[in-house]
């Protein structure tokens, strides 16, 4: 299967016009996966590309609240699980270091103290990106970014190593940041490479495509930072790297998953063709911390 979208564009190119709206938190934040938030207008038709429609959020359905899944709050599950060594904590709120990832982990049902701790952790006037948060920000918090997204999980993908893919490390970060700047896949910061395995493809010695691992809830690993230099799109590089990264995840006994914008129909079709299936709808939200917020619990600072 080619890594091109059905219209001939690589997944990281689809919906480029919306990609520039991804929030740049503390200099360079914001992928097409958790956070692939490119091209994500709230297009409900994007949820029908597999012939199934995602269920409505639990708050819209009468009856008992369904049991929470580890992927329902993937940032918090990562920071309290395999990525706990990265966690910066205040009360029940956790985040990655700002040069690793912009995403924060908030409790499923945050109270006023949690929002106060979040404000103290992030700082007045700063943006707080919240992956998968389905609630509402408190009064006084300016929502700066709110995009509908989808979460897709491995449903029998043909994961396999790629002979041309090379492991990328800290020494490759300048090239990786340059590729991200030119392709805008989403959040990739100077230390993001520390979150997991990143693979790239070089042509003439230059890095022209990459993909890697980001969020890491127990038993699962997110594929992210999928991007290809515009001059090399249409060769299937993105799909090959997704399958190669997925192979490494499977080798550890874990399951690959990823995110993209709900309106990014081309990328969704590609990922489903590779063997991913829609699991749930989600949101990519950022809110600006007010200048004055009451102090929170301050437990576990």
**Tell me, what's the pLDDT at 45?**
30
User: Predicted confidence band at 8 (pLDDT cuts at 50, 70, 90)?
Assistant: very low
The torsion of the CA quartet 72, 123, 18, 105, rounded to 10 degrees, works out to -10
**Tell me, what's the pLDDT at 48?**
35
**Tell me, what's the pLDDT at 295?**
60
User: Predicted confidence band at 65 (pLDDT cuts at 50, 70, 90)?
Assistant: low
In angstroms, rounded to a whole number, what is the distance separating the alpha carbons of residues 71 and 44?
21
User: Predicted confidence band at 41 (pLDDT cuts at 50, 70, 90)?
Assistant: very low
As beta bridge partners, residue 202 has: 207
pLDDT at 12 over 50: no
Identify which of 199, 150, 197 has the alpha carbon closest to the alpha carbon of residue 179. 199
For residues 8-34, average pLDDT: 35
Report all structural domains of the chain as residue ranges with CATH numbers, in order of start.
154-282 (3.40.630.30)
Exposed / middle / buried, residue 89 (Cβ in 10 Å: 0-12, 13-18, 19+): middle
% of the chain with per-residue pLDDT over 90: 66
For residues 254-277, average pLDDT: 93
In angstroms, rounded to a whole number, what is the distance separating the alpha carbons of residues 220 and 259?
13
pLDDT at 1 over 90: no
User: Predicted confidence band at 296 (pLDDT cuts at 50, 70, 90)?
Assistant: low
**Tell me, what's the pLDDT at 7?**
32
Instruction: State pLDDT tens for residues 172-219.
Output: 999 999 999 999 888 899 999 999 999 999 999 999 999 999 999 999
Contact status, residue 128 vs residue 104, Cβ threshold 8 Å: yes
> For the chain, where are the E strands, in sequence order?
88-90, 93-95, 104-105, 127-131, 142-154, 166-168, 198-203, 206-213, 220-228, 255-261, 276-288
Characterize 145-177 residue by residue with b for buried, 16 or more Cβ atoms within 10 angstroms of its Cβ, and e for exposed: bebbbbbbbbeebebeebeebeebeeebbebbb
Crossing angle of the two packed helices 237-251 and 265-274, in degrees rounded to 10: 50
Widest Cα–Cα separation across the chain: 59
% of the chain with per-residue pLDDT over 70: 75
Contact status, residue 14 vs residue 5, Cβ threshold 8 Å: yes
Average pLDDT of the chain? 81
């Amino acid at each position: 299967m080619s890594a091109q979208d059905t219209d001939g564009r690589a997944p990281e190119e689809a919906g480029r016009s919306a990609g520039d709206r991804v929030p740049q938190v503390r200099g360079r934040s914001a992928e097409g996966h958790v956070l692939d938030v490119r091209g994500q207008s709230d297009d409900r038709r994007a949820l029908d590309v597999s012939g199934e429609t995602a269920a409505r959020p639990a708050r819209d359905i009468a009856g008992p609240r369904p049991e929470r899944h580890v992927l329902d709050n993937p940032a918090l599950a990562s920071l309290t699980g395999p990525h706990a060594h990265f966690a910066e904590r205040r009360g029940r709120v956790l985040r990655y270091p700002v040069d690793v990832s912009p995403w924060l982990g908030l409790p499923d049902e945050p109270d006023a103290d949690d929002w106060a701790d979040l404000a103290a952790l992030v700082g007045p006037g700063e943006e707080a990106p919240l992956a998968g948060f389905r609630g509402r920000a408190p009064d006084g918090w300016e929502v700066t970014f709110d995009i509908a997204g989808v979460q897709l999980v491995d449903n029998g993908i043909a994961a396999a190593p790629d002979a041309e893919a090379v492991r990328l490390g800290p020494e490759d970060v300048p090239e990786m940041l340059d590729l991200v700047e030119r392709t805008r896949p989403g959040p990739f910061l100077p230390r993001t490479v520390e979150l997991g395995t990143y693979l790239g493809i070089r042509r003439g010695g230059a890095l022209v495509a990459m993909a890697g691992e980001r969020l890491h809830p127990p038993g699962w690993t997110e594929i992210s930072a999928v991007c290809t230099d515009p001059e090399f799109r249409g060769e299937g590089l993105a799909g090959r790297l997704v399958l190669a990264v997925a192979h490494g995840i499977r080798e550890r006994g874990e399951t690959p998953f990823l995110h993209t914008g709900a309106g990014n129909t081309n990328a969704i079709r590609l990922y489903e063709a590779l063997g991913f299936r829609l699991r749930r709808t989600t949101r990519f939200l950022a809110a600006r911390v007010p200048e004055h917020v009451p102090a929170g619990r301050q437990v576990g600072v």
